[in-house]
Amino acid sequence: MLMERERTEITAYLKMLITHGLTKGTGGNISVYNQALKYMAVSPSGMDYFKLSPEDIVVMDLDGNIIDGNRKPSSEYEMHSIFYRERDDILSVVHAHSPYASVLACLNWSIEPCTYLIGSAGKDVRCTKYETFGSPELAASALKGMEGRYAVLLGNHGLLAGGTDLATAFDTAEEIEFCAEIYYKCKAAGNPVLLSDNQMDIVLEKFKTYGVQPEVD
């Protein structure tokens, strides 16, 4: 099966969108890009995540043509492929309708650096203006909103996160959902004290080696 590893991985992480509280029902979508093949594997449209098999995941080229699979791909596939065309540091994209990120997206609020944990995505997380789901306009808006970052809030919609692999993209989605919750609760209580650019520069530098373990002989 073409891209069997990526398709198997996506089926596992789609279930985790539900079990980790990042979406409801069949909301959200996930993709992984294979640079050697120049194909992406992307979740199908509107199918129960707990009934999926790897064969249900659709393999597409970056022009939107189906290469392998009998299912209809996610309506948001253009919002995934645009990153693989335009950014070589993103090889997986996770889209979620997580509660607090979606609340902020509906408020059209960006997430300011009230906690250093936002450094998993960058100095902050921008929020785009609303665009219709599945449209080229949404894809272009997401790409611009995530410029220099690894996450973006889609106005009146939800959260998008990217990474060098699916595990990293998913972790970033979880981390930014947590940051969204912190930010929302801080705003409800008052005005959060924000970290400075210099403080965030230090955080971003330290994050480059966070979790990197030395090799054992």
Token couple for 70: 């009998």
User: How far from 208 is each of 22, 139, 204, CA to CA, in Å?
Assistant: 26, 28, 7
* Percentages (nearest 5) of helix, strand, coil residues in the chain: 40, 15, 40
Catalytic residue among 6, 9, 55, 76: 76
Question: Which residues lie closer than 8 Å to 196 by C-beta, 6 or more apart?
Answer: none
Query: Beta strands of the chain (E only): which ranges?
Result: 29-34, 39-42, 58-61, 66-68, 92-96, 151-154, 158-163
What is the C-alpha separation between 43 and 159, in angstroms, rounded?
16
Whose CA is closest to 75, among 157, 10, 133, 131?
A: 133
Q: SS3 letters for 4-41?
A: HHHHHHHHHHHHHHHHCCCCCCCCCEEEEEECCCCEEE
Q: Is 175 a catalytic residue?
A: no
Q: Are 71 and 11 in contact (CB under 8 A)?
A: no
C-alpha span between 215 and 129 (Å, rounded): 45
Residues with a catalytic annotation lie at 76
